[in-house]
Amino acid sequence: MPTFAALGVPDALVAVLAGRGITSPFPIQAATLPDSLAGRDVLGRGRTGSGKTVAFAVPTIARLTDSKKTRRPNRPRALVLLPTRELATQVAETMTPLATAAGLTVTTVFGGVGQNPQVSALRGGIDVLIACPGRLEDLIGQGHVHLDAVEVTVLDEADHMADLGFLPGVKRLLDRTPAGTQRLLFSATLDNGVGVIGKRYMRSPVTHSVAPVATETSTMTHHVLAVGKDDKPTVIRELAGGQGRSLLFMRTKHTAKKLARQLTAAGIPAVDLHGNLSQNARERNLAAFTDGSVRVLVATDIAARGIHVDDINLVVHVDPPAEHKAYTHRSGRTARAGADGVVVTLMTPDQHGDVRTLTRQAGIKPQQAAVVPGDALLKQLAGPAADYVTPAPEPVVAPRSSAPRSSGAGRGGAAGASGGRRRSGGGGPARSTSSAGSSSGTTGGYHQPKPASSGGRRRSGR
């Protein structure tokens, strides 16, 4: 495999990559960098985790450095379009050190947060704009952004943007960028409208494809576990109780939040990630999972491509996905960059036909077994049990009417028993009940809700 320098990467950028421990190019980088650094339009196909961010970040920064044009207010010089907030943040983390070394600036634009800081950054003049289509179109409509100075446009996770219905917006944004400028498109697949984007907006693109579909999951071990509905909750806990990082996928926001709460209450600290969380809560939960504060993340499909966390040992499809592409992208959270990983699909009796179709369409032949709680196979797949502290039992709480108001006991000890709000940690040993959606403080850096009361109405999404 050639070195980054041999591929034509400028010395200053080689040094930045080396400082981040990136010394040898991944196949997608080795394939695309010579063409992208030469200014050609490039269409790169490779699954998530194959190293695509560096593959487009390096030529984008190099191109802007060579052009020597000055930044102007509200007119970015490079545009990176991608589907999710989490991905935007992580791409910015990779691009910012490279840009800083070249004296360039980077900012992100996405929804779910206030736009004023984004508007201020744009007004000050930025070189690289990393954006989700929806918020970017809003800011363009308000006159805060103009794309007529863009020299390089990147589409990252183009197939996921197509899946989410973003392609019409992407086309409108591309129409605003100058014709004849360099365009780089990276995607796991070229179907579902992605190919149309390439034909319409790219000039004789050079196509590079690595990791064909048939071998994309070769470093993963796939298992389908048949489990009874009554046994499933216990089986989930046993799979999630290992020492490694585990990512559990659910179909809905509600069930993701509920499972994270149940696991934490069972002594397995877990956080969740889904669309009902505020941006701050999403960042806290993802940071806790990334830095190891918690080892279990329960997510909806927003995380299938929206997060990039190394060393995820186990992916569990608690709810099997509806179609094979979602299976591939969910599973791609493990076995990244050639590492090994385990993927488990839990199958209840009514799901046999759907799971059989799913695995056939995904092109995999999983190992299949029927399991019950305590099965040796579950321990093998989960790995060694983590040394979690068993949660303290719920304190016995006196009825509200038995506590004299004047004593203050009703607020300190009995709040939350009936219609009140119980303060976290009050009335007994603290117990971590990390979940999403409710108003909370933080424990260990991650999102921890106040326990729901048995009487009052609990607002979803707070």
In the numeric block, which tokens belong to residue 286? 């993802």
**What per-residue confidence (pLDDT) applies to 446?**
40
d(CA 362, CA 215) in angstroms, rounded, equals: 11
pTM of the model: 0.63
Could you tell me the CA-to-CA distances from 159 to 185, 217, 317 in Å, in that order? 10, 18, 21
For the chain, which residues make up each domain, given as ranges? 11-211, 216-382, 400-449
**What per-residue confidence (pLDDT) applies to 203?**
93
DSSP state of 233: H
Q: Which residue has the tokens 């961010």?
A: 53
Could you tell me the CA-to-CA distances from 433 to 269, 385, 424 in Å, in that order? 8, 20, 9
d(CA 347, CA 360) in angstroms, rounded, equals: 15
Sheet strand arrangement including 182-187:
106-109, 128-131, 78-81, 152-155, 182-187, 42-45, 206-209
Contact 261, 433 (CB under 8 A): yes
Low-confidence ranges of the chain (pLDDT < 50): 212-217, 389-462
- What is the sign, positive or negative, of the torsion defined by CA atoms of 312, 317, 319, 322? positive
**What per-residue confidence (pLDDT) applies to 338?**
55
**Total residue count of the chain as it appears in this document:** 462
- What is the sign, positive or negative, of the torsion defined by CA atoms of 297, 300, 302, 308? positive
Fold matches, 11-211 and 216-382: yes
* 3-state SS, residue 206: strand
34 Cβ contact list (under 8 Å, min separation 6): 7, 8
Q: 11-211: which CATH number, 1.10.1060.10, 3.30.565.10, 3.30.420.40, 3.40.50.300?
A: 3.40.50.300
- CATH architecture for residues 216-382: 3-Layer(aba) Sandwich (3.40)
State the amino acid at position 141 in one-letter form: G
d(CA 7, CA 10) in angstroms, rounded, equals: 9
Sheet strand arrangement including 367-370:
270-273, 296-299, 245-249, 312-317, 341-347, 220-226, 367-370
**What per-residue confidence (pLDDT) applies to 387?**
59
d(CA 98, CA 104) in angstroms, rounded, equals: 8
**Number of neighbours of residue 455 by Cβ within 10 angstroms:** 11
**What per-residue confidence (pLDDT) applies to 211?**
56
446 Cβ contact list (under 8 Å, min separation 6): 269, 271, 284, 285, 287, 288, 289, 293, 294, 434
* Strand 446-449 versus strand 440-443 pairing type: antiparallel
Contact 378, 346 (CB under 8 A): no
